[in-house]
Amino acid sequence: MLGTFSILLPIFGLIIAGFLSRKTKVLGATAASELNRFVVWLALPALLFDIMANSHWSELYLPNFISVYLIGSVMTFLLVLVWRLKQGRPLADASIDSVSAAYSNAAYVGFPLLFLVFGAAGQVPTTIASIIVVSVVFAMAIILIEVGLQAEVALHIKAKNVLKAVFLNPLILSPIAGVAVAAMSIHLPQGVETFLKLLGSAASPVALVSLGLFLADAMVAQSTAAKNHGGSSSSKTAWTLTFIKLIIQPLLVAWLALYVFDMNHELAMMAILLAALPTGTGPFMLAEYYRREAVVTAQTVLFSTAVSLLTLSVLLAFIK
């Protein structure tokens, strides 16, 4: 448990730093939004491009692992999407809730945690999980959000607007560009690599600080909403999404890995552990980027990170 806590502690620290910065007015009311724009337009695209451009595709060919993690993530996404749409949630907001329940924090928690448990053998599966989360789950959410936002436009215009918005989105364009560079075996100059790594390394910490800033403002807004019209429903939804992320998704992946696919036992344990990771900051960045209600998303990131200290520790006890 101490090992898990030491990995999760910096996440809480950065969130708290942002929270206190807003509460003490060191940073202003627009800081969360502006920092998030920095992540979405600069830092995260640099990170995604760098990961994809430097991926060794022959090493990443683990078909059973890819199938298990991909199916588990997509099924979780669709499960929540159907649930939230049946509750009357708009498609754009339901898509953000769905990605909140399926978006594992593989980049920030997965790499150090799997290295702690499995050593260097965990690097490739964690890279695959990161690619699936970003290139499939994240992309699905962006497409559905764009479709939802174009709901009242004529079909041919809607299709044009959606395609334009999706393929001009830096979070979609950057990994595609990275794949193209890798496919053409282009070796980036050292200066470019250093630039990408410096910029990309800022993505997670800045996003977590932005999350803390947002939570500081959201606490006031939620308190007001609770007095006016029962705003506590956002916390209930966030706890439900946290349960789905930390319990349902890893159980689904465990069923696929252990009973449906003939997986190597160690790879199966890696897939389950990666599925059990808390929600990353990606969904929060989407909510802020598209100016959607971000309280549920921010709470899901916070709740799942806090509770994962217990759930991951229990899971690690069984794996060991």
Nearest-angstrom CA–CA distance, 301 and 14: 13
Per-residue confidence (pLDDT) for residue 119, from 0 to 100: 83
| pLDDT mean for each 10 residues of the chain (320 residues) | 68 86 89 84 85 75 92 96 93 92 84 80 83 83 82 55 63 80 86 92 84 76 52 80 96 94 90 92 81 83 86 81
Residue type, 82: V
Per-residue confidence (pLDDT) for residue 229, from 0 to 100: 46
Q: Are 282 and 132 in contact (CB under 8 A)?
A: no
Per-residue confidence (pLDDT) for residue 164, from 0 to 100: 61
Per-residue confidence (pLDDT) for residue 157, from 0 to 100: 55
Domains annotated on the chain, with CATH: 2-319 (1.20.1530.20)
Per-residue confidence (pLDDT) for residue 292, from 0 to 100: 81
2-23 and 295-319 helices cross at what angle (nearest 10)? 170
Per-residue confidence (pLDDT) for residue 139, from 0 to 100: 82
pTM: 0.77
Nearest-angstrom CA–CA distance, 112 and 312: 13
Per-residue confidence (pLDDT) for residue 3, from 0 to 100: 62
**Cα dihedral 154→155→156→162 (10° resolution):** 100
Nearest-angstrom CA–CA distance, 175 and 49: 5
